[in-house]
Amino acid sequence: MSIREIPLRSVKITDAFWSPRQKLMTDVTIPYMEKILRDEVPGAEKSHAIDNFRVAAGEINGDYYGMVFQDSDVAKWLEAAAYSLALKPDGALSRRVDDMVALVGRCQQPDGYLNTYFTVKEPENKWKNLLECHELYCAGHLMEAAAALYEAAGKDELLQICIRLADHICDRFEKEDGIPGHQEIEIGLLRMHRATGSVRYRDMALRFLNLRGRDPAWFKKHTPAHPGVCYGGYRILPEDSVYNQSDVSVREQTVARGHAVRQLYMLAAMADAAAETGDREMLDACQRLFDNITQKQMYVTGAVGASAHHEAFTVDYDLPNDRGYGETCASVAMMFFAHQMLKNRPDGRYADLMELEIYNAALAGMQLDGKRFFYVNPLEVDESVSGKVYGYEHVLPWRPQWHSCACCPPNLARLISSLGRYLWSEDEHTVYSHLLIGNEADTRFGRIRLESRCPWQGHAEYMMLDGGDFSLAIHMPHYVSDYSLTVNGKKVVPAIRNGYVYLDRFWQPGDMAAISFDLPVRRIYANPSVRSCAGKVALARGPIIYCFEEADQSAPLSSLSLPRDLKIEPIPALPGLPEEMICLKAQGKREILSDSLYGDFPPAAESCSLRAIPYFAWANRKAGNMLVWIRESICL
Ligand SMILES: [Zn+2]
C-alpha cells in the first residue's frame, strides 16, 4: 500500500492557533467572499462572477464581466464552502451551495461544455485558444470543487456535472493534441479519478502532462491571431514557451521558470501522478524542481515567484526584497506540491516546507480579521515608493478588500478550511504526523489525539485513544536541534530517518508520546549570492519568521541594524496584536540621519530598542514600512 492522506472528515483540528482561523473561515471569510462574488460588499472591487453564470444561463440580461477565468472564483469558493460544511454543518450555507451548483448546472451545454465566458461572449471560439483562454483551468477548479463537495460534504450534484464536463474534455483531447495554457486541469482530473474511480480521468491528466513540452512550438502553431484581444488582461506571447513551462518535456525540467503558479500547479499534479502510477522519472523531475525552488529561488518566508513581470520565477538567487512578487497563490501552491510529494515518500523537507508556508508566506496573504487580502507578499516595503513608483506599483503596504484578479483570497480560504488534509498520512504499518497542529484523527490504526502548544511553545502530546500495533512517525521540524521524547513518561531515543522519529510498538489505549524542545530565537543568513540580503539577518522562532514594522521602532528602518552578538528575547504581543502572539525585542543601533546625501564619514550611531513581530501579522495595525532582512552590525 502506498502512502495515502487521511480523509478530511477523519481529522478534526483542535488547536489554539488554527481552530480560531478555521472558525474565521466558516464564520467570516467564506460568507464574506460569497457576498463579494454576489457584488454585495460596498466599495469592494466588482466581481460579477455569479452574475456571469446567470447571464450564461439566460436568467438575467447583461454581459460577461471580468477576467476570462472569472468562473474559477466561484469554483474555488464552492470548494472552500465544501470544507466549511465539513467543519461546521450549516443548513443555510448548504442550501446556497446547492442553489449555486444548480445554477452552474444550468450553464452546462448539452455536450458537457461549461464556461460562462465562451457561452456568453464567443460561443464560436470554444477550445480554439488554449494558450490564453483558461477553459481547462476553470474546468480543473470546478472538478476540484466537485470532488470536495462529494468527499467533504456528501454532495454529488456538482460531481455529476463535472463527470459530463470531464467526459466532454476527454472526448475531445483523447483524439486531438492539446495542452492547457495554465495548468490546473491535471489536478482536477486526478481528483475526479479518485472521486469516481474512473481511470479515464487519470489517463487524461497524464496525457496533458506528457504532451507538455514535447513540441516547444505547440502554442505558436495552435494559437490563433487575434489583434486587439488580450484574454488574460495582459499579453501572453505564443512563442514564450518558458512562461508556461511548455519548452521542455515535464520529465526533463531542471529548474523552476516562468509563471510561478502555473509551474507549481503542474508540479503538484506531477507529484500526484507519480504517486498514482509509480512513475520514477516523473518523481525525479519533481524532486529536482523542489530542490531548485527551496534551495535557490524561495524567499525566507516561503514566498516564490520573484518577478512581477509575468508573476514568475527568474534565475537562481534573484530574490529582491522590496519589489519581489511572491503571489499568495504561489505559496498556497507550494503547500499543494509539498503535500503531493508526501504521497510519494515521507521526507521531513516536504513537511518543513508546508509548515513554512502555512505560518508565513501563505498566512500573510490574509488580514487577521479575514476580510482583506494580499496578492503580493514583499519582504520589504517603503510607503514612499510602494504602489507609486514604476517597478513598485504591485507592492502594497496594506491589504485590499478584493482584487480584480481574485485568484488569491479563495485559494487561501480553501487551504485553511481544508488544513486537516495536510496533518497526517499513513501506509500499511505507519501513521505519519507531519505538522504539530492539535487535532483528533481517525487513522486506520485507530483514533489519535494530538495536543500541541506550537508554534509559540515547543511541546506536543500524542494520546492513543484506541491503540494497536503500528509505528507512529513524528516529523521533527528542521529547527529542532535538541528535544526530549517520552512514551508514557519514559524517555526514549529513537533514530530520526528523513526528518521523522519512528515510535514502533503495540500501543495501548491511553498511551501517550510527548515531545518537548526549546524554541530559541534563530538568526538566519542568506547565501551571499542573494544580493538583497547581503550583510543582513532575518529572525525566526520555531516556524515563525519575524519582521520589523517601522511603527514599532524609534527610527526609519533603513537606519537600523542589529548587532551580531546581542541576545534577542521573546516578549508578549505588542499593543494592537492578539495577546497569544510572541514578539521579539533586541538592543539595536540606529544611525543618525543628516541632510547631506553623501559624506566622508560613517553616520553617527546610538543604541536603540528594536521590536519584531510575526511576518504573517504585518500591516494589521496600520499601513507602514516593513522589512524582514535587517542589517547586521558586528559590534554595538
Ligand atoms: Zn493568486
Whole-number Å distance between alpha carbons of 320 and 391: 12
609 alpha carbon – ligand 1 mean position (Å): 37
Whole-number Å distance between alpha carbons of 174 and 87: 38
Q: For 452-484, write each residue's pLDDT tens digit.
A: 999 999 999 999 999 899 999 999 999 998 999
407's grid cell: 485568484
For 63-158, list the strands marked E by DSSP: none
3-class secondary structure, 576: coil
What is the distance of C-alpha 31 from the center of its chain?
A: 21
pLDDT of residue 281: 97
pLDDT at 233 over 80: no
pLDDT of residue 236: 84
68 alpha carbon – ligand 1 mean position (Å): 15
Q: What would the mean pLDDT of 381-406 be, rounded to a whole number?
A: 89
256 alpha carbon – ligand 1 mean position (Å): 18
Q: For 310-367, write each residue's pLDDT tens digit.
A: 899 999 999 999 999 999 999 999 999 999 999 999 999 999 999 999 999 999 999 9
Q: For 20-30, write each residue's pLDDT tens digit.
A: 999 999 999 99
pLDDT at 635 over 70: no
Instruction: Enumerate domains of the chain plus CATH numbers.
Output: 424-516 (2.60.40.1180), 521-633 (no CATH)
Give the position of cell 465566458: 117
513's grid cell: 508520546
Which of 519, 417, 350 has the alpha carbon at shortest distance from 18?
417
Which of these ranges, 42-46, 54-58, 475-479, has the smallest mean pLDDT? 42-46
Give the position of cell 499601513: 623
563's grid cell: 548587532
Share of the chain above pLDDT 90, in %: 92
393 alpha carbon – ligand 1 mean position (Å): 16
Which of 616, 574, 151 has the alpha carbon at shortest distance from 364?
616
180 alpha carbon – ligand 1 mean position (Å): 18
pLDDT of residue 225: 82
pLDDT of residue 226: 78
Mean pLDDT over each residue of the chain, to the nearest integer = 95
328 alpha carbon – ligand 1 mean position (Å): 6
pLDDT of residue 1: 57
Share of the chain above pLDDT 70, in %: 99
User: What letter would DSSP give residue 366?
Assistant: B
Give the position of cell 444548480: 102
Whole-number Å distance between alpha carbons of 625 and 627: 7
Is 536 exposed, middle or buried, given 0-12, 13-18 or 19+ CB atoms closer than 10 A? buried
pLDDT at 518 over 90: yes
Interhelix angle for 328-344 vs 408-417, to 10°?
A: 40
119 alpha carbon – ligand 1 mean position (Å): 25
Q: For 166-219, write each residue's pLDDT tens digit.
A: 999 999 999 999 999 999 999 999 999 999 999 999 999 999 999 999 999 999
Whole-number Å distance between alpha carbons of 602 and 500: 49
- The pTM of this model reads 0.97
3-class secondary structure, 222: helix
φ, ψ for residue 268 (rounded to 5)? -60, -45
300's grid cell: 525566507
Residues in Cβ contact with 595 at an 8 Å cutoff, skipping those fewer than 6 apart: none
Return the active site residues: 311, 407
φ, ψ for residue 614 (rounded to 5)? -55, 135
Residues in Cβ contact with 599 at an 8 Å cutoff, skipping those fewer than 6 apart: none
Q: For 576-620, write each residue's pLDDT tens digit.
A: 999 999 999 999 999 999 999 999 999 999 999 999 999 999 999
Strand (E) or helix (H) holding 432: strand 430-433
56's grid cell: 450564461
Amino acid present at 512: M
Q: For 85-131, write each residue's pLDDT tens digit.
A: 999 999 999 999 999 999 999 999 999 999 999 999 999 999 999 99
Cis peptide before 455 (omega within 30 of 0): yes
